[in-house]
């Protein structure tokens, strides 16, 4: 948990999966990972993340207002046990499941019947035979095709085609690598 020592007030990650306390930049701990697990569980059972939006700003707004925006679509069947576990993961950090340790999560009714002591010994659902270290026969074959480049929209800013795959990615410089924001001379342009 050393990483939390350095990044306990920095928002790190994909906005859809970041806990509210991380966005607030008031400090966070490993409990933010249980929030992310709840979001992933929701996505696996529902088919999309609970706070997904067109923009990172809208995603942020939805995460910060999770009490109103975390809803389960009525048309998707989901067990009450699964719904309860997701809601116990995606709650304020003081009341989040896992606060007392991982045993609290293992004891949740959703995991009833799971033999935690022997879970690694369980056989795979589908038997897999691996013939060599580079055997890919267990993967689907996809025909080779050219990657389609997006056609620029005249209503959007003119992005260079090489940068289109990075749209909506966020980055925040770690100020700890510099002294009060000044860039060391060896890192300045042409010095590397």
What pLDDT, in 10s, does the model give residues 49-87? 999 988 888 999 999 999 999 999 999 999 999 999 999
Q: What pLDDT was estimated at residue 125?
A: 82
Q: What pLDDT was estimated at residue 83?
A: 98
- In this prediction, residue 163 has a pLDDT band, given cuts at 50, 70 and 90, of low
Q: What pLDDT was estimated at residue 151?
A: 64
% of the chain surpassing 90 pLDDT: 43
Q: In whole angstroms, what is the distance from residue 83 CA to residue 90 CA? A: 10
Compute the average pLDDT of residues 128-148.
83
Q: What pLDDT was estimated at residue 192?
A: 44
Domains along the chain with CATH numbers = 1-113 (1.10.510.10)
% of the chain surpassing 70 pLDDT: 68
């Amino acid at each position: 948990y050393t990483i939390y020592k350095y990044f306990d007030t920095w928002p790190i990650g994909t906005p859809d999966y970041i806990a509210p306390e991380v966005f607030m930049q008031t400090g966070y701990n490993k409990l933010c990972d249980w929030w992310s697990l709840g979001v992933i569980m929701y996505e696996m059972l529902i088919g999309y993340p609970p706070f997904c939006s067109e923009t990172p700003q809208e995603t942020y707004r939805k995460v910060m207002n999770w009490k109103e925006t975390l809803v389960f679509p009525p048309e998707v069947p989901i067990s009450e046990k699964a719904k309860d576990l997701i809601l116990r993961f995606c709650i304020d950090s003081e009341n989040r499941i896992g606060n007392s340790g991982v045993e609290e999560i293992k004891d949740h009714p959703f995991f009833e019947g799971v033999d935690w002591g022997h879970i690694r010994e369980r056989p795979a659902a589908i038997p897999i035979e691996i013939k060599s270290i580079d055997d890919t026969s267990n993967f689907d074959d996809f025909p080779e095709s050219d990657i389609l480049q997006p056609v620029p929209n005249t209503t959007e800013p003119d992005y260079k085609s090489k940068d289109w795959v990075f749209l909506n990615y966020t980055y925040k410089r770690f100020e700890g690598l510099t002294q009060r924001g000044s860039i060391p001379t060896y890192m300045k342009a042409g010095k590397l």
